[in-house]
């Protein structure tokens, strides 16, 4: 059985004072042996967040594909691990778009994360235009194949499906659309990775809130969520964690 994962991506939000939300979150949720809870704060908070995590896992929002060297301003996967984090998100659509990252860059980042002992959360997702012109599965198949390195296992890799048009918009795909995509991704992962593909966790992301989480988590191949806005406050994120635990 796959462990569930409730992951919060704070994006470029949060100062040191926001770390009190981590304490509030661990107070608000009951530990569950089958559910991981993860917060990915901005990089300057990684050390302190890891120190006070209290059962909550900590992750970064990106890493460089090289292990070290002359890359001013970048973070290596080993620096992230050294800060106490255990996950790194790679290939978020905001980085694909804002930093022109392509599948091959993201594959390199995931490989770097793996070599530092981190679990990579590889994000993929279609644009609204790709959705309306019927290209969703083609686009996702290409992104999955290109972004996922050959060394991916069920332990070191999580895939997050985040339709770009659903991120921060309040628009959520229908349950049928989520099931169609997640079943398709599962099929592709099993074809490529066998048992690891069956056991690799698949998250849905894009406007997940306490009010829609339980329905989204009903789908067999949805193993959790990658949550942006609703992860910033413990009072918004805790009910999502609870809905996942109950699913
Ligand atoms: P929202 O939950 O704010 O839509 O963001 C989703 C996301 O991009 C998480 O990585």
Instruction: At 9, list the tokens.
Output: 């991506």
Q: Provide the percentage of residues in the chain whose pLDDT is more than 90.
A: 98
Tell me which of 90, 167, 173 to substitute to probe ligand 1's pocket, judged by most ligand atoms within 8 Å of the beta carbon: 167
Flag whether the pTM goes above 0.95. Answer: yes
Q: Which residues lie below 8 Å from residue 140, measured CB to CB, with a gap of 6+?
A: 124, 125, 126, 161, 181, 184, 185
Q: pLDDT (tens digit, 9 = 90+) per residue, 211-246?
A: 999 999 999 999 999 999 999 999 999 999 999 999
* Statement: 4-246 belongs to CATH 3.65.10.10: no
Domain boundaries, the chain: 4-246
Asked if 25 and 52 touch (Cβ cutoff 8 Å), the reply is no
For residue 231, report the distance from its CA to the centre of ligand 1, in Å.
Answer: 9
Mean pLDDT, the chain, rounded, equals: 97
Closest ligand 1 atom, residue 208 Cα? 2
Residue 155 has pLDDT above 90, yes or no: yes
Q: pLDDT (tens digit, 9 = 90+) per residue, 18-63?
A: 999 999 999 999 989 899 999 999 999 999 999 998 899 999 999 9
The pLDDT value given to residue 76:
98
The mean pLDDT value for 94-109 works out to 97
Asked if 162 and 127 touch (Cβ cutoff 8 Å), the reply is no
Number of helices followed by number of strands (H, E) in the chain = 11, 8
Q: pLDDT (tens digit, 9 = 90+) per residue, 68-93?
A: 999 999 999 999 999 999 999 999 99
Q: pLDDT (tens digit, 9 = 90+) per residue, 217-226?
A: 999 999 999 9
Ligand 1: residue whose CA is nearest its atom 7:
228
Tell me which of 224, 226, 240 to substitute to probe ligand 1's pocket, judged by most ligand atoms within 8 Å of the beta carbon: 226
């Amino acid at each position: 059985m796959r462990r569930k994962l409730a992951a919060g991506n704070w994006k470029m939000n949060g100062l040191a004072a926001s770390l009190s939300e981590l304490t509030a979150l661990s107070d608000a949720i009951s530990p569950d042996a089958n559910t991981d809870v993860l917060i990915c704060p901005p990089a300057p908070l990684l050390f302190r967040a890891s120190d006070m995590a209290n059962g909550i896992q900590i992750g970064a929002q990106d890493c460089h594909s090289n292990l070290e060297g002359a890359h001013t301003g970048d973070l290596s996967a080993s620096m992230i691990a050294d800060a106490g984090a255990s996950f790194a998100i790679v290939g978020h659509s905001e980085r694909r778009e804002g930093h022109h990252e392509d599948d091959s860059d993201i594959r390199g980042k995931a490989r770097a994360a793996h070599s530092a002992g981190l679990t990579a959360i590889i994000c993929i997702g279609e644009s609204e235009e790709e959705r309306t012109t019927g290209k969703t599965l083609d686009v996702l198949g290409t992104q999955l194949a290109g972004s996922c390195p050959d060394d991916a296992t069920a332990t070191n890799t999580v895939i997050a499906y985040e339709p770009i048009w659903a991120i921060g918009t309040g628009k959520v795909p229908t349950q049928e659309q989520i099931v169609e995509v997640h079943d398709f991704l599962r099929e592709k992962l099993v074809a490529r990775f066998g048992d690891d593909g069956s056991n690799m966790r698949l998250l849905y992301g894009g406007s997940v809130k306490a009010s829609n989480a339980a329905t989204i988590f009903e789908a067999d191949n949805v193993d959790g969520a990658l949550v942006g806005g609703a992860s910033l406050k413990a009072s918004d994120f805790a009910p999502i964690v609870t809905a996942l635990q109950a699913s």
